Amino acid sequence: MELKRTVDFKKLKSIKAELTRFLMTYKFALDEVNTKIDILKQEFEYVHDYSPIEHVKSRVKSPESIIRKIYKKGYTPTLPAIKENIVDIAGIRITCSFLSDIYKLSEMLESQKDIKVLDIKDYIKHPKANGYQSLHLIVEVPVFMSDREEHICVEVQIRTIAMDFWASLEHKIYYKFNKEVPERVLADLKEAAETATQLDKKMERLHKEMNELKTDVHGDDEWYELLINNERFMLPQGFIEPSLDEDKRTNE
């Protein structure tokens, strides 16, 4: 006997609307955190003449990925269960120049009044077994909808360029490989991660040395900042003032 399944299109439409609204809150949460990061980046560029942020990427997990993860965790696939048990639906990855930038940026985000830090995992001080390094923050931000306020989790990953390079290639090497990885490959990947760590430490040291040299060269002289064709230039007082005095004499 053939059984026929009746499709309730009205109910399907309701489920779709509910899921869309659910995912929108995570998109809005990403927008909130991205805006904060962009403000910090611009402030550093214009005020401090240096930005610790190189690149920013963000994403919201697809419904398929969310369902797979909730089943893997052993929970019933309902929206309340998903919200409570999956904290990386919304994710942001920030790539910094130097190791010290990671913790500096983390402190700035943690100090934001409307950001609540729920969890921190430091895979830089304590790398994963395969060599993976990054600083992971789970933060909660308020999202104001038309009829309610939601508190949404966002995962923030902060890493250096070298860490990001290693993680990206490690992912590509493993992509669609479901068998056991040979020990030789695992050992080589871990060695590559250690090489990336040494590179980060060396670049950090060089960065500090150059900052000290710049301070010695500039000394106590006053420097002027000029904006020419949207490019910023730092010029010493001794270079600028003779030109200003010449213009003043010409106009008298």
Rounded Cα gap, residues 1 and 4, in angstroms: 10
Catalytic annotation, pick one of 32, 45, 149, 155: 155
Contact yes or no for 153/85 (Cβ under 8 A): no
Helix (H) or strand (E) holding 65: helix 63-73
- Phi then psi dihedrals of residue 145, to 5 deg: -90, 180
Q: CA dist 141 to 31, 154, 177, Å?
A: 11, 8, 36
Number of other CB atoms surrounding residue 106 within 10 Å: 19
Residue closest to 124 by CA, chosen among 150, 171, 160, 149: 160
Q: What is the CA radius of gyration of the chain?
A: 25
Residue with tokens 């989790």: 153
SS3 category, 147:
coil
Q: Catalytic site residue 155?
A: yes
Residues annotated as part of the active site: 155
